[in-house]
Structure 1
Amino acid sequence: MNFSHITILCIGDIMLDRYIYAQVQRISPEAPVPILKLTHTKEMVGGAGNVTNNILSLGGKVIIVGLVGEDSNAEKIKTLMEKQRISTHHLISSSQRPTICKSRFIAASQQVIRADEENLIALNQQEIKKILVHIDQTISLANAVIVSDYNKGMCHPTVIHYIIKKAKELDIPVFVDPKSKDFSLYKYATCITPNLKEAMAVIQRPLVIEKDFEQAGQQLLKITQGQAVLITRSEKGMTLIERDKPAMTIPSRAREIYDVSGAGDTVIAALSLSYASGYSFTEAVHIANAAAGVVVGKAGTSTATIKEVIAELQAQQEHSVHTVLSPELFSLNEVIEQINTWRNQNLKIGFTNGCFDILHPGHVDLLKIARDHCDRLIVALNTDKSVQLLKSAKRPINTLSNRAQIIAAVRYVDCVVSFDEETPFNLIAALKPDVLIKGADYFGKKVIGREIVEKNGGKVILADLKKGFSTTSIIDKIKCQCI
């Protein structure tokens, strides 16, 4: 599976997603609201921009056409896109509207409030004319088109009709993530990908059993005159209805859903890349379903990589809800390549390490805290030889392969690697993470790798650990019960 030769033209509502992290210490004496002590802010390109993030993460190429204001948020979007090596040439500036910005205030891992900056007035003729010019300049370079409609104004009927018409002339497939309740707006699009709520809003009846979905899909196909409809159904998977073919439902593999933010963007990115690469709709939907399965297991708006999607496909093919998603340990070159991809997406890389021999709540708590301080978390495991050097000849209890499989299944972990030495110094020197996380028991002690991380502008976090948990105490307790 290789999408490096595929270019997707993405047209839609671009926005700045801002996450403002804070601590809540008390309630305001002025009103019954929490007082937030701001700690740090993270910004990323959202909306149609998140679709481009997913395309890049999956290895494809992307051109984006969108509308921004003449303000500081527009400059931030351009800076973020340039860091990801996405051309900003086709971002159209407008003095008539601000750049869309969603600011989310997060405290104790919960969203406290969201503030939106936007102006939903219809596009004027000058804005429409500029958009059509940029479509003409870019569409012939694409293998497929995605219309990412967030109902924020960019996807004006004139714009949508024009791009579908031009794509049809060039025999380029068009995929639409719809927000309008009038699906005739997307007439002749190759495929539309409504979620359950959006599909029910159009057909105006509940969808419960499989027959309901098939009938709904046929009704939507009649409206759009397209080739396929893909109804996404969250934890229940997705249903594909192709013209002149029976409906097919692809269930999601049983797993803990952590966050569905942006899953629709992942689906349409993977679907369009797969179909443009020559996969059938059935094959493309399986790939999209696997990609969605990866991102819903991650916190926040996330993306999936090809390696993660392949691992998820393999797990799904085993037809067992008890199978643990366990990608093989990354090699050093694979980790470096993955880090480069993440850094191109302006993501903060975290690193922690340990034996993780018998996983317990203390370990899980450390991994959660570590993931809270970064966008992607790498966990480095001592090899069996390294554990023996540190502990004893009787350790580890679980082999490296088994430990890697368990750690890879923890939702806070994005990458697992191993090291054979007593310390991860050489690994940290090679990877140069942005954040190094260790337990608070290292306070006052030498933290291996601190100098490397801080020299590169990163920081070291000493996380408070849950008391009363250790692998050694678990082993001792087992021994006592066996006597």
Structure 2
Amino acid sequence: MLTLDSARDAIQRMAGCRILVIGDVMLDHFIWGAVRRISPEAPVPIVEVTKETTFPGGAANVARNLSAFTPHSFLMGRVGKDSAANELKSLLNGEGVNTDPMLESSILPTIAKTRIIARQQHVVRVDRETIEKLSADELKEVCQKVEAMLPELDGIIVEDYGKGFVTQALADQVLGMAKAAGKLVTVDPSPRNPLSWRGATLVKPNRLEAFAAAGIQDHRTPGPPLEDRRLLEVGEQLLDQWSVGQVLVTLGELGMILFQRDRAPHHIPTRAREVYDVSGAGDTAIAFLTLALAAGLSSEDAANVANRASGIVVGKLGTARLTMEELLQAFED
């Protein structure tokens, strides 16, 4: 059972954890404004811009979540040689993320997503991206960098947004090296990129991703998650399908459910008080789940930490991160 004192001790140990995030990085651009009238040119709202903000997105947001709790947050992904890459690196470096492991592409742009928000309502999103799988040369570079960093790492997070950086070859190589070195590896999978995760410590899909990966239709049975027969079937199937020891399925307003081999499923109820924006909630969950595991907590207690952390960020607009004080306050409450 995780108490306030044990949570405080774990948070203190997190500061010494060295975590590498590998995956699809992107720049999140937010345009904020107000809508007072409809355009005479087309039946669309006119957004009067009041401010613009940018944040690290995708795997970069995971690394950013880590850096608030440890000075040893490393990020490996692919960016272009463009202004978006410069801005993304500047933002990350400013928040304590080490971007030295990043790969630069001379032919692909940095992935950027622009969200237009009026009075806290998401109006439209504009994506700039070219999806291209990791090349053989890029994979070689990734493996060389991971091999060099591995002895000093406490854990690796593979964050797959289905944008091409995470391939089966990358997963096999990274998971194989990490397993041989006895290192913790957690995975946040993408339903658009079905891969085998053999060798991972834990895989964390959301409900939609879990059912899609298992090939089972979700009927959204009302009632407690531990009484949801199809959900329990999905969890048990994914343990075998992915050849992993643990699967944590996030359930939105219903919290999370942890599946482990030879143990009964464990449900963690949600801690969110108010939900303003779910953007980045999964990034926060995988970041704090991994930090907590690296700090020595059990899987159940690590899931509890991740659940509380996610419950805080959904109460904020945009891809937000939380502070140590906010996380401790959640345990005090």
TM over 0.5: yes
Partner of 2:35: 24
2:249 is the alignment partner of 1:231? yes
Structure 2 CA distance for aligned equivalents of residues 38 and 200 of structure 1: 39
How far is 1:181 from its partner?
Answer: 5.7
Secondary structure, counterpart of 1:9 in structure 2: strand
Matches within 5 A, 1:146-165: 146-165=157-176
What is the alpha-carbon distance in structure 2 between the residues aligned to residue 120 and residue 231 of structure 1? Answer: 27
Q: Does residue 1:205 correspond to 2:217, yes or no?
A: yes
Look up the match of 1:7.
18
Contact residue 193 and residue 232 of structure 1 kept, 8 A? yes
Residue aligned with 1:252, SS: coil
- For 1:53 and 1:63, locate their aligned partners in 2 and report how far apart those are by CA, in whole Å: 9
Greater alpha carbon shift after TM alignment, 200-209 vs 90-99? 200-209
Task: Pick closer, same or farther for the CA change 1:254–1:75 going to 2, 3 Å.
Answer: closer
Q: Could you tell me how far 1:92 is from its partner in structure 2?
A: 0.9
Residue 293 of structure 1 is matched in structure 2 by: 311
2:279 to 230, 244, 261: 261
Structure with larger Rg: 1
RMSD: 1.7
Matches for 1:24-423 after TM superposition, within 5 Å: 24-59=35-70, 61-180=72-191, 184-203=195-214, 204-206=216-218, 208=221, 209-253=227-271, 255-315=273-333
* In 2: Cα distance, 1:254 partner to 1:118 partner: 32
Q: Secondary structure at the match of 1:168?
A: helix
Deviations 1:49-103 (A, max 9, x none): 1101111223462111110011111111111122123222211110221100001
Query: How far apart, CA to CA, are the structure 2 residues paired with 1:264 and 1:169?
Result: 28
- Please tell me whether the aligned partners of residues 271 and 307 of structure 2 are also in contact (alpha carbons under 8 angstroms): no
Structure 1 residue 136, shift from structure 2 partner: 2.1
Q: Given the superposition, is the C-alpha separation of residues 52 and 276 from structure 1 closer, same or farther in structure 2, using an over 3 Å criterion?
A: same
- Inter-partner Cα distance in structure 1 for 2:317 and 2:64: 16
Amino acid corresponding to residue 113 of structure 2 in structure 1: K
Q: 1:33-62 CA distances to partner (integer Å, 9 max, x unpaired)? A: 233332321011110011011112234621
Structure 1, gaps ≥5 residues long: 316-483
Which deviates more from structure 2 when the two are superposed, residues 237-246 or residues 31-40? 31-40
Whether the aligned pair in 1 keeps the contact of 2:67 and 2:97 (CA below 8 Å) is no
Write the distance in 1 (CA, Å) between the matches of 2:96 and 2:312: 24
Amino acid at match of 2:17: I
Summarize the Cα distance change of 1:30–1:181 in structure 2 as closer, same or farther, 3 Å threshold. closer
Measured in 2, the distance between the counterparts of 1:29 and 1:298 equals: 34
Give the letter for the 2:217 counterpart.
R
**Does the CA-based 8 Å contact 2:30-2:117 persist in structure 1?**
yes
In 2: Cα distance, 1:212 partner to 1:28 partner: 47
Indicate the structure whose relative CO is greater, using CA pairs within 8 Å and at least 6 residues apart. 2
Displacement of 1:279 in angstroms is 0.8
Cα 1:244/1:15, change in 2 over 3 Å: same
* Paired AA for residue 150 in structure 1: Y
Distance 1:182 1:125 in 2: 18
Aligned partners of 1:263 and 1:18: how far apart in 2? 17
2:162–2:192 Cα contact (<8 Å) kept: no
Task: Describe the SS at the equivalent of 1:39.
Answer: strand
CA distance in 2, matches of 1:78, 1:184: 29
1:121-175 per-position Cα deviation (integer Å, ceiling 9, x unaligned): 2222222222222222322221010001011111011111111001001100110
Q: Does the 8 Å contact 1:15/1:49 carry over to 2? A: yes
SS at match of 1:186: coil
In the alignment, what sits opposite 1:369? none
Aligned equivalents of 1:108, 1:20: Cα separation in 2: 11
Structure 1 residues 254-296: Cα deviation after superposition (integer angstroms, max 9, x where no partner): 6222221111111111111111111111111111111111112
Q: State the SS of the aligned residue for 2:172.
A: helix
Residue 98 of structure 1 aligns to a residue whose secondary structure is coil
Secondary structure class of the residue paired with 2:263: coil
Point out where structure 2 has 5 or more consecutive residues left out of the alignment.
1-9, 222-226
In structure 2, what is the Cα distance between the partners aligned to 1:254 and 1:275? 22
Tell me, yes or no, if the aligned pair for 1:235 and 1:257 is still in contact at 8 Å. Answer: no
**SS across alignment from 1:215:** helix
**What is the alpha-carbon distance in structure 2 between the residues aligned to residue 214 and residue 164 of structure 1?**
26
Residues 189 and 172 of structure 1: CA distance in aligned 2, closer, same or farther (over 3 Å): same
Q: 175-184 or 160-169, which moves further after superposition?
A: 175-184
| Counterpart position of 2:6 | none
In 2, the alpha carbon distance for the partners of 1:86 and 1:250 equals 30
SS in 1 for 2:208: helix
* Structure 2 counterpart SS, 1:99: coil
Letter in 2 for 1:171: G
Contact 2:71 2:97 in 1 (8 A): no
Q: Percent identity?
A: 38
Aligned residues of 2:29 and 2:54 also touching (Cα < 8 A): yes
